Structure formats: structure tokens, C-alpha cells
Amino acid sequence: MTESLALEIRQGVPGEVTAGLFDLDGRSVILIRADTPTRMGALTPEDGKTIANALEMALAKRLPAILLLASSGADANHGVAALHGWGTAARVLSKCSGVIPVIAAVTGPAVSGTALLIGLADIVVMTESAYAFVSGPIPVRQMTGVQISQQELGGSDVHHRETGVASIIVSDDEVLQTIAEILQFFPNYNGLEAPRIATNDLDGRLTPEASDVLPETPSGSYDVREIIRHIADDNYFVELRSGWATNLVTGLASFGGRSVGVVANQPISIAGTLDIPASQKGARFVAMCDAFNLPLITLVDTPGFYPGKDLEWRGMIRHGAQLAFAYARATVPRIALVLRKSYGGAYIVMDSKTIGNDAYLAWPTAEIAVMGATQAAQILRRGASDAEIEEYVAEYDSTYLNPYIGAERGFVDAVIDPKLTRRELIDLLDLLSTKKEKNPVRRHDNSPL
């Protein structure tokens, strides 16, 4: 894969940034390189203009924008003019949001303005030695007295596990190939349908092994990514932000050759409950898929929101609403499948029928209810004897903890055989492929933050 530009813009302008038309594994993109080792990649006002102009070209030509970044920030020798260049680039990058895919790759430092730019990208790839922060170790020590290294403060592992900035971590020689693998799922711009992915996998392939992943006990844990791979084309799944908010899985796959975004609760991490990071992670991913016409498949297995004073004080209400808001305003085809548990408020925000999805399916193992049997007994049979509690739990379990009550009331569209899961999802995606839905005309919405 060559890195030479087919057409370079602002070629005669002094500066360290290069940008222009680039062939990325057979796909035309606008490639912006701001990763020169000169002066640790400090960028001049002209560099900022080059980035802005390249992004304007990507927007005008409706081509994806790829930024390769390794910069210590604005060049202090140019004073506030260098900051102006960064501001101009940030403004154009914001205009690109939701119109063309923007993928940023950090291959070295990303400091100050550069760090903020990657926060505006749809997807961020970081190399193992890269680091990013708004304020570095010296200001941290001066202001707080804490001695900390660059990697401890903003290394790739920190952004992969703690902040969610990094979508994926790769080695230096895998950057462009990884970007190409991610980009294959996205259209060039929001006016096109998501691209079809070549596959020899059969649409009607049976998937009995998918339900075999579920443990025998309702409280047992398992890795939901195994189920995703069993039902996806060629067992292929590209997970994004795998190290952050591990109780929710987000990533890209194809079903019957159709690109889709997958959201799934992860039972091996805090039982698949939803907390603040998971809500933020899910909301951003759902919004991105909706922007670029990727249908959404949601696999549900959650006992609810994670309880705790700390979460509530940090704004669980606001952040939980982010996920509900993202799903509710999404206009792409949306299919949810309950694998096991779907309780309480988490039932609502995980793309329930009541929040407006197109199809709500369930395996026979699904438990769709306000709460689990033991919790219900503790509330509704408070003060009862142990025998009475046990009897009530058994009655509640047999009466409510199944998908058929929801199906009778229209909240579940179909209870499906797990071995037919792949076929059912592909048939629904085909059926919904002509879906056209628009949100009410307004200046912009007011998403919970």
C-alpha cells in the first residue's frame, strides 16, 4: 500500500503538513499527514491552513478524511497565529462531522490543539507508543504537584482503557491497513448507503452454536462477542473501544453482505449492567452509525443499570439519557434481539420497541420484566417468610420471566429459534433496506451531555 499522494494540495506552501488525494486499498480518500519529526511536529499557521483546506476538499468532494497525527501542538515561535490555524482546522472538522467519515491516527505525540482535534474524529487509531493530552506532565506537576510520565498521563493504553478516546490500538506498520479495514464498512459520505461487503457466507446458515454460548445458570457469565461472531458474515467482527466500558460491546460487522453496527451488553463485565461510560460509549457509536446509514443490531442481556451513589452523583441520569436519546433519534433500520435478561430502565434504553425500533426479537431464554424474581419478591413480599418468598419467586419466574408475555402485548415481535438467528436478522435487514425516515425539521437537537 503506497503512501504517495495522487494529488497534493498547497504543495508550494512552507510547512510540515502534506495533504491530498490518496488511494487507500482501492478507496479514494483525502489523506492529511501532520506527523513530521521536525520540532516534534510543532505546526505553524500555514500547517493549520493546510489541514483546514484539505478537510474542505474532503467535504466538497464527499470523500473520507484520514489524519495521521504526531504533533506537539502549535509552534510557539508563531504565537497566537499558530493557534488560529488550529482553530480554523477544528471549525472545518466540525463541519465534516456526520457528513464524511473522519478517522484520525495518532502515531506519536498529540498535545494541546492536536489532542482536541482527535476528539472531533469519528474513530481514533493509536499506535502503542503514541500519547495524547491537553496539558502535559510539566503543567500537571506545577499545578497539582503530581509527578507523572507522558505514558501514564495520556499513553495509548490510558486512552484505550480509561478515557475511551482510542477506538483501537495497533502497531506502527498496521495503521493504514487497520484504517482501511474499518473504512470498508462506511460510505464515502452520508448521502450514500453503507457499502456491501463481499462474502461467501450463506444467508441461511444455521447458528445452533450461538445459543450454546449461554451458560446453564441464568446468572452465569459468557462472552457476547462469541455470539456476534457466530452469526455475522464469515465470523468477522471489528470491535471498537474494546478496552473502555467493557460492559458494552460496540463494533462493525456485515450480515448478508450489509454493513451494520453492533451494540451488545457484555455479561463478563459487571454482569452486563449499564453505567456512565457504557452509556456514553453506546450513544456515540449509535449516533455515528445513524449518521453514516449503518443499520443497528442490538443484542440485549442486561439486568439493569449499575447501582451506586457515586454513579448517581456523577450524573447517571444525564448519561443514561444519552443512550436513550441516541437510539430514539436514529432513523436507520434498528433490530434488537434479547438473548437472556432485559430488565427495568435498561430494557428501555437498549433499543426497545417503545423507544421506536423496527423489530424486537427474543430467544426463548429471554427474561423481559421490570426486575428479576428475587428483587421483586423483596419488594412485593416484604416481611414474608422464607418459604413464602421462595414460592413467590417460583411463581414470578414461571409467569413473567419469559418472552411470551411481551409478545402477547406487542412489545416483542417474534420469539425465534436461536439456530435461525442469522437468517432472521438478514431477512429483516433486507425488508428494512428501503426504510426512509426523517427527524422533525429543527435547527439542531439538544442532546444530553
pLDDT at 373 > cutoff 80:
no
For residue 436 the three cell numbers come to 426512509
At the top level of CATH, which class does the domain 208-366+402-434 belong to? Answer: alpha beta
Give me the pLDDT at residue 86, please.
81
Tell me the pairing of strands 258-265 and 248-255. antiparallel
Q: Which residue has the higher pLDDT, 13 or 127?
A: 127
Q: For 117-176, what is each residue's pLDDT tens digit?
A: 999 999 999 999 999 999 999 999 999 999 999 999 999 999 999 999 999 999 999 999
Across 234-366, the runs of DSSP E, i.e. the strands, are 238-240, 248-255, 258-265, 296-302, 334-343, 359-362
Task: Please indicate whether residue 448 or residue 102 has the higher confidence score (pLDDT).
Answer: 102
Domains 7-183 and 208-366+402-434 agree in fold: yes
Kindly report, residue by residue over 65-100, the tens digit of the pLDDT.
Answer: 999 999 887 766 777 876 787 888 999 999 999 999
Going from N- to C-terminal start, the domains of the chain cover 7-183, 208-366+402-434
Q: According to the model, what pLDDT value does residue 4 have?
A: 77
The pTM for the full model equals: 0.94
- The fraction of the chain above a pLDDT of 70, given in percent, is 98
> What distance in Å separates the CA atoms of residue 405 and residue 411, rounded to the nearest whole number?
9
Closest alpha carbon to 412 in 371, 369, 349? 369
Q: Please compute the mean of the pLDDT values over residues 211-217 and round it to a whole number.
A: 93
7-183: which CATH architecture? Alpha-Beta Complex (3.90)
How confident is the prediction for the chain on average, in pLDDT? 91
Q: Are 122 and 288 in contact (CB under 8 A)?
A: yes
Lowest-confidence segment of 21-25, 232-236, 303-307 by average pLDDT: 303-307
DSSP H or E stretch at residue 329: helix 316-329
